Amino acid sequence: MSHRLFNLKNSKCFVPHGHNEFVKVHLVSNGDDSLDGVSNMTNKFETLKKTWHNWIDNAVDHSMQMTAADPLLDYFKANEPENLKHLLITPGDPTTEVLAACFFSKINAFLSDENLEMTCVRLEIEETPTNTVVFHGDPKKAISCAQYDGPEVPWWERPDMSINDL
């Protein structure tokens, strides 16, 4: 992925640059935890990972992460509208902290929509070998939408393949 921290002017993070992010999710069962002695799974692993991996691999991977206030967004709208689907837009700068909260919300939206009796209770994003952010808690309390101009239900709360509300 690549990103630019628009509100950190005069820093190296102001210039668009890339990272290899690694995302790790921690799930717990909301239902009966007893194993059946045969498959010994509370949920089929394939079902649990299918939608999430599809979203990470086909929407998030190779995305350009930016804030809605970044003037580069206007460039893409005017000159490269076909690439808008590759822009992951965050409320404020696309820091690893806000990404972790957004991703946490997104995976729980997927799990709920698929009626899986599982909840993500912890999500980790490793941006670099020396920078990992862990999120657990309430994303609605963590994510400030004061400068985010989008629909009432933003992309990170919807169980769809979106990464922006453009």
| DSSP conformation class of 162 | -
Say yes or no to pLDDT of 158 above 80.
Answer: yes
Predicted pLDDT at 77: 97
Q: Are 103 and 120 in contact (CB under 8 A)?
A: no
Predicted pLDDT at 66: 95
What are the structural domains of the chain?
2-31+41-157 (3.30.479.10)
50 token code pair: 């299918």
Residue 13's CB is within 10 A of a number of other CB atoms, namely 15
SS3 13: helix
Say yes or no to pLDDT of 39 above 90.
Answer: no
67/123 Cα distance (integer angstroms): 21
Say yes or no to pLDDT of 144 above 80.
Answer: yes
Predicted pLDDT at 26: 96
Say yes or no to pLDDT of 33 above 80.
Answer: no
Contacts of 114 (CB under 8 A, 6+ apart): 47, 51, 159
Per mean pLDDT, which range of 43-47, 64-68, 113-117, 129-133 is the poorest?
Answer: 43-47
